[in-house]
Amino acid sequence: MTLTERNLVKAYAAALAGKACNADFADVKSAEFFRLAMSQGVASSVYYSLSGADIPAELRTMLEDVHNQALLWDLSREEEEKRVFAAFDKAELNYLPLKGSVMRMYYPSTDMRLMGDTDIMIERFNRKDAKKVMESCGYKRTDSHSGHDIYKHENGNVFELHWKPADSSDFHKNLMERALPVGEKGFRLSLNLSDFYIYMLSHFARHVRTSGAGIRMLADIKVFFSRCGLKLDDGYVKSVLESMGLVRFEIQVKKLIHCLFYGNTPDELTQNFADYILSGGVFGSAEISAANKRGDKSRLGYFISSVFPSFGAMKERYPFLKYLPFLLPLMWVFRWFSLLFRGKKPAARYAKGASVDKATLKRNKQLMTALDIKRYKNGKQRMTAGDIATALLLICVLVFAILFIGTRLMTPGRNSTDTSDEEVLHNSDEPSSEEISEDGASDEPSFDIPEREYGTIAYREGLYTGWLVQGVPDGTGTLVFNSGESYSGSFSEGMFNGNGLYKYNDGSRYDGIWYEDEINGTGTWYFPDGGFVSGTFFEGKPTGVCVYECANGDMYEGTLKDGKWHGKGKFVWTSGDVYEGDFVMGVRHGQGKYLYSNGDSYEGGWINNVQNGKGTYVIGGNSYTGVFVEGVLEGEGTALFKNGDHYKGYFVHNKYHDDEAVLTFAAGGSYSGGFEDGKFSGYGVIAYADGDMVKGDFVEGFLQGKAQYYYGDEEEWRTITYVDGKPQ
């Protein structure tokens, strides 16, 4: 492992253990560490162990930004899951949450196990009803696969509804049957601890043997086993893992966990396993996937297996082949035609696999063999002799049909022209022998990625100038629309991808990261009036930690959601007023402190930009603490005046109003009794600092009528009549 990888592992292990990381970051490059932490999906987690460590300020800021975004996303995901799960309960449809939706609850903090989507399993016959449930929650089905549907909400949340397990093992086929109800009336299901452990381990194994897996997937096993390992049925777990061929894999996983998270010294196999885990991202990489798909095949063997996938692989893609295996050749042809409509991606994937060096192939093969996960032991269905004979006959028919049709299409019509056969041959589109390169290039398919060229393309909607690949914008370029709007920056496969500047007709512009024609990533949006917002964008809207400056100079710094102030933030007005605290969808809502330019302040609860809840208001040097309702004191509270006087009792509309309250004077003495509209009212007692005392009825703040006056120095009570507070 590199120094950066070692420090990341130490920081992540410390975070999972709830400890501070003491790794030395003197020689670690901040950008490299942050990039690795992001690719492994643990940037927010390591912030817990590094927030108080001696690390570069730049790295601390980047990790803190990601951590703040993770807290918001985790809260949003949790609320969204509750809403969708409640809808399934209401519709009385069984559902089984999987993977991260369950695992996050075992982590020290749920934001340490973020998810890109929520996976739940449903019963196949409930697929249509489940679609109605998702649509009722505002979701739209954006994609469908052979075993699951993908639903996406405009708020960015994604759900995957599985009705068929991704793994074909007997264990996975019966997941819904193994699950048990959660509670008495709900329709939510849950696997017992042993089954969930087997599921997580086999899921990890499938990723390792296909596209790879990162350290976060390994942490899932570590966290779950440390919390629930003693509660597992060891005999049952071992028998199921034996049937799946995962016993050796489990042993190596536990060894890797002890090396990475507990500091054990790794042997050669464990070190190779660790390097493999850290070489990709959370779910591995395209390069690892290409290498594992190729295996130990030669380039020719890989080409043949890509054109003619095995019966097992085709059966996974087209399940009906299990019952009609003789249709395999027909489905090969169907697959070829379907690939033609998928653009350059299939060819690019093939090129990746074909270009993998022999050393990598050998190293991966040795690791997969040592881990014993080249394939699960599920008992593959094989084609019978009759199936093979039927398939061969079908292949012959298909080949004959293709040759016959091709010959007819390529033969020039005899009556269409007087051109001689010789002229036709010389003017055909086929290359002459001189045009065929000396290295033997022929009609064998080429999957090489073509070179870029610089040029200009006119579209119906505008004009593009820049780098092209096969006539498609790819690289840096500029697209000027007929409407006057323009984009200058990075393109990939014809779409805005990477860093770019878009100028709108209304005078606004965005300068930052794009992904597949959408604003996604860090950037700055400049408004026509001169204001701007800079930070992280998701689907065109600023989301996460951002800086928002209005045209008049007012500025907000904090988290945003869907373009609105949401979460923790600070707003500074040009007048000098400052608010720092909670925001919800653009308004002050929650707990916060407002500092007025004249020195006054309020700190406490807010609802819709108005003081609500318990708080303290300081105005003109006087301090009021209590419960505020719509900006005014209502209920029990206290007041401390700048002259030292102190009131304790009830308030009504910011004024003292109580049958029995106390006002203590700074000079000594106090008043105990009733208040109304901020004045002494009703029966009350005034105790003076010199020991005298008077008690009687007060009206509009003054003693009225007969009152009892106590002379402290004479220790004597006397009756005195008062008019407007004056003795008569």
**DSSP letters for 450-484:** PPPEEEEEE-SSEEEEEEEETTEEEEEEEEEETTS
Residue 289 and residue 396 share a domain: yes
Name the residue with tokens 């393309």.
457
Residue 289 and residue 256 share a domain: no
Residue 402 and residue 289 share a domain: yes
Task: Please tell me whether residue 618 adopts helix, strand or coil conformation.
Answer: strand
Helices (H), 51-192: 57-91, 100-103, 127-136, 170-173, 175-178
Assess if residue 593 is contained within a domain.
no
For 472-511, give one letter per residue: b (16+ CB within 10 A) or e: bbbeebbbbeeeebbbbbbbbebbbbbbbbbbeeeeebbb
Query: Domain count of the chain?
Result: 3
pLDDT of residue 436: 30
Output DSSP code: residue 325: G
Assess if residue 200 is contained within a domain.
yes
At 723, list the tokens.
């008019």
Residues of the chain scoring pLDDT < 70: 168, 184-185, 290-292, 294-299, 302, 312, 316-317, 319, 341-357, 360, 374-395, 397-452
Q: What is the rounded CA–CA span in Å between residue 471 and residue 467?
A: 9
Residue 328 and residue 228 share a domain: no
pLDDT of residue 239: 92
**Domain end position, chosen among 229, 264, 299:** 264
Residue 384 and residue 342 share a domain: yes
Assess if residue 211 is contained within a domain.
yes
Assess if residue 207 is contained within a domain.
yes
pLDDT of residue 666: 87
At 57, list the tokens.
């300020």
How far from the centroid of its chain's Cα atoms is residue 614's Cα? 34
Residue 398 and residue 309 share a domain: yes
Burial environment of residue 256 by CB neighbours within 10 A (0 to 12, 13 to 18, 19 or more): buried
Task: Please tell me whether residue 254 adopts helix, strand or coil conformation.
Answer: helix
At 455, list the tokens.
């040029």
Q: How many helices (H) and strands (E) does the chain have?
A: 21, 34
Assess if residue 9 is contained within a domain.
yes
If you write DSSP's letter for every residue of 6-70 in order, what string do you get?
HHHHHHHHHHHHT-------TT--HHHHHHHHHHTT-HHHHHHHHTTSS--HHHHHHHHHHHHHH
For 574-601, give one letter per residue: b (16+ CB within 10 A) or e: eeeebbbbbbbeebbbeebbbbbeeeee
At 155, list the tokens.
């708020």
Residue 382, domain extent: 285-406
**Digit-coded pLDDT (tens) for 276-331:** 888 877 777 777 776 667 666 666 776 777 777 777 677 766 767 777 777 777 78
The pTM for the full model equals 0.52
Residue 401 and residue 290 share a domain: yes
β-strands 118-122, 158-162: how paired?
parallel
Assess if residue 235 is contained within a domain.
yes
Please choose, from the candidates 441, 315, 300, 459, the residue with its C-alpha nearest in 3D space to the C-alpha of residue 382: 315
pLDDT of residue 520: 85
**Domain end position, chosen among 36, 67, 98:** 67
Assess if residue 423 is contained within a domain.
no
Residue 291 and residue 235 share a domain: no
Residue 392 and residue 301 share a domain: yes
Residue pair 390/263 in contact by the 8 Å Cβ criterion: no
Burial environment of residue 190 by CB neighbours within 10 A (0 to 12, 13 to 18, 19 or more): middle
Residue 335 and residue 227 share a domain: no
At 170, list the tokens.
């007997």
Residue 318 and residue 397 share a domain: yes
Assess if residue 130 is contained within a domain.
no
**Domain end position, chosen among 67, 90, 113:** 67
Residue 323 and residue 390 share a domain: yes
